[in-house]
Amino acid sequence: MARKKKGDAGGVIILIVIAVLILIALGTPIVLIVGYMYNKAKAGEIKKRISGTMSDFWLNKREKDEFKEKVNLLFHVDDIIEKANEKGTNAGISRNKDGSFSARSNLGKEIRATLKKYEPVKSSLSNYLYELQNLPLSRWEEFNGYIKNEKSFMWSLISWCTVLLYYFITLGKQSISEIFIPYLALATNFFRDETNQLQIVDGDIQMIAVATIIAIITYFICRIIFKNSGSKYSPPPEKVSLENIDSY
């Protein structure tokens, strides 16, 4: 009985694996076409509004003003924290094991209250400024991703079609439609009666497997090849600072 259960479980696992492989094979051309069209459309929208200069993804006026305002506020908060620490050190207030000032004296309590109020503000401002500093590069990376994906999907689709063309010639198929019959068979034969199932001839499964594997490998190789392909259309922006914020 135990062996039978193990055999049943093994059979179920094999069926699941086969089903997943079939879904990958059937889904590959769909993903390639949709992925190519989607990324091409997104990249095309951005290309219309860029000029190929560093200003393409730079901060707009509102973001620049906000950056300057937050930097000044951070300087002010930093100054308050620094003075509070100096005040406590100069007064000889002891520190706890965690580095905080002791609250035994009124001055210690005052300094702790000041630090408790402004240290979270400093952290919040620093995080927000970090996002603004890297916002132009983040925008460029999003654009670069669309370009990279567009090219990767395109060449992957080309490699998929090339493999099918090779098998079209090798297997001696008479029409282009015969290439896609095996795909239709994989997708529908499970739901058909035995007398109504589409025929899969020798070499068809190999054709589908090779085309799928080559397409997937090509996609990931192209993602490396076209890693920074967006720079062809616009240079990667610098990190924003007070020195360069008004340069673009």
**How do residues 101-150 score in pLDDT, each as one tens digit?**
888 888 888 888 999 999 999 999 999 999 999 999 999 999 999 999 99
Summarize pLDDT for 67-87 with one digit per residue, the tens: 999 999 999 999 999 999 898
Q: Where are the domains of the chain?
A: 27-232
Contacts of 70-78 with C-beta under 8 Å, sequence gap 24+, read 70/125, 70/128, 70/129, 70/132, 71/129, 71/242, 73/125, 74/122, 74/125, 74/126, 74/129, 77/118, 77/121, 77/122, 77/125, 78/122
What is the DSSP track for 41-71? HHHHHHHTT--SSGGGGS--HHHHHHHHHHH
Is residue 21 over pLDDT 90?
no
